A and B are shown apart, each in its own frame.
Chain A
């Protein structure tokens, strides 16, 4: 019993046993605002001594999400956003139902969650087409555009 007890040296009065450990975050499920599975917590990052956010991993791709964008519970990490990075790999159709290809790159405003454009490629050898956000009609399961592309 005595082994599990954590003795505290701190100006704060909170019992360290009641605080969450960074280790317990690892592997926790991360869910976007719209209920989509974003990945699992891979790492916890600090800026200096301050908690900065989490690194989420899904299929070998990692995304850092700042602490301002999520709340943590025992079961999952709930995001207050739908990360635009999860658009990568989605299929793109134009307004006429023509398959344009898949999203290969996301262009954002700096590191924010604001989408500016997506780069779409039909196959490995074709050149990528840049599609600005203003031309996107739906971006949920896949992307549907407002215009017809020739």
Chain B
């Protein structure tokens, strides 16, 4: 079994699905990146599928190379882009346009309002109730509009 071996080959990694800490399948590993000078592997590239950009993941973000999957040690912040943002009553406020993170934790999200104006506002993490298939905000949330 591949996982029992201390040394694995590129065949054991390429084509396998990359899974983040939420258990979400991000895509398929399509490239291995190797440092020519140090002769060490530095990361992998994940093919996220149609219309999505490829994602480079550094070695420090890889938890282990499993039998059927590659486990990542973090959830990529980019994953939240495009998610619906709902207030505590379920009203759609807009979509996530950007994520600011510090030390791998989401600090604030930039939300693009629905409608023609596409105004943007910031949501600090303290006002975020949960992030799943959409971002649910707390009752305490008040929008801070970003000047254009």
Contact = CB atoms under 8 A, between A and B. Distances in A.
A144 B86 CA distance: 28
A97 B64 contact: yes
Interface residues of B, number: 31
Contacts, number: 100
B23 A138 contact: yes
Contact of A29 (B71, B83, B88, B90): B90
A124 B24 CA distance: 23
Interface stretch (A40-48, A53-61, A74-82): A74-82
A35 B131 contact: yes
B67 A97 contact: yes
Nearest 7 pairs between A and B by C-beta? A97-B66, A76-B90, A142-B23, A73-B89, A34-B132, A141-B24, A35-B132
Contacts of B3: 96-98
B122 interface: no
A35 B88 CA distance: 10
A31 interface: yes
A32 B90 CA distance: 10
